[in-house]
Amino acid sequence: MTTFTRRGVLSTGAAFSISMALPRVLSAAEPLCLTSVKFGSLSWVIDTIRTEGIDKKQGLDLKIIDVATNPAAPVALLSGAADVIVSDWTWALRQRARGDDLKFFPYSSSLGSVMVAKDSPIKSLGDLKGKKIGVAGTGIDKSWILLRAYSRKALGKDIAELAEPVFGAAPLVSEEFKNGRLDAVLNFWTYAARLKAGGATELLTMADVIKGLGVSPTPALVGFIWSEKAAREKSLPIDKLLAAVDEADSVLAKSDAAWQRLRPLIRPASDAELVAIREYYRSGITRSWGAADTAAAEKLTKLLIELGDTELVGDGTHFDQNLFHT
């Protein structure tokens, strides 16, 4: 089975131009509005694209729209303020069920983890009984719902009943954990990396959770999302964006110097924290989406629909393989 990559090359080795799968773009650089959370991982990629001159090489005119939080990006896309955003395909799937012609291509497969203190007596999920676990987000966060499903399968008990969940913003639950007011924390990968560099231990990764639920390979959950109609009508250079990101990722995958240059954006507390973030990022670099990923995403969607509620997946949401740009 062939797999499409950002560079538009099939795994069989046959050359294939991504422009054949996307709207034809104009020869001159067309502005493309992309949202980015300041200091988030996408800002590191954007900085690399510009510093390395990749945008000029690709003939890509990027206009960055800074958003304060991740949830602000979908609002920008749906309102037409942005052409492309980075978000979860679970959200995009819900929007397709509502009639929006959105497309998704993976950005990163890095996932969060359940972290405990280095000297914690908690060595397994079952040891969280009676303990406080911080959860980044809300009670319908997909990672939390999947962790609950995993605990029911592994322990025969719901972690929400076994432990005491404390919900909050990612920075807040990390600080509460570091201050010893939480026994464990389920957080996004960037925060998990920082905690690990500070001495915390991974109790369980979300990749392990997804595999434990019988979903394999673990599909990238976060990616670039755009409207097919808008891309066609505005001749958006989506192909150039994906190619530029792929080239920037190649730099970040190999060059430690590139990461040193990014220190002002990453703002690590130590050299060890920078290294941890760098390694987490590199492990999540995703360049393709194939049939196996689509099948895994379908299985995960059915699981989320079964375990979640209408707030998470939306009333009437169903799996649509046409969401995924292949």
Domain boundary assignment for the chain: 4-109+219-323, 113-212
Which residues face 288 on adjacent strands? 5
pLDDT of 122-154, one tens digit each?
999 999 999 999 999 888 888 998 999 999 999
* Predicted pLDDT at 253: 98
Query: Do the domains spanning 4-109+219-323 and 113-212 agree at the CATH topology level?
Result: yes
Q: What percent of the chain has pLDDT over 70?
A: 88
Residue 165 in this model has a pLDDT that exceeds 90: yes
Residue 70 host element (H or E): none
The CATH T-level fold of domain 4-109+219-323 is: D-Maltodextrin-Binding Protein; domain 2 (3.40.190)
- Our CA dihedral for 289, 189, 203, 120, rounded to 10 degrees, sits at 180
Q: How far apart are CA 184 and CA 187, in angstroms?
A: 10
Instruction: Tell me the residue type at 150.
Output: Y
Tens digits of per-residue pLDDT, 168-198? Answer: 999 999 999 999 999 999 999 999 999 999 9
Strand partners, 225: 85, 104
CATH topology of domain 113-212: D-Maltodextrin-Binding Protein; domain 2 (3.40.190)
Distance CA 144, CA 165 (A): 10
The pLDDT score that the predictor gives to residue 140 is 80
Distance CA(207)–CA(296), nearest Å, equals: 13
This prediction has a pTM of: 0.86
| Distance, CA of 219 to CA of 82 (rounded, Å) | 25
Provide the terminal-to-terminal Cα distance of the chain, rounded to the nearest Å: 12
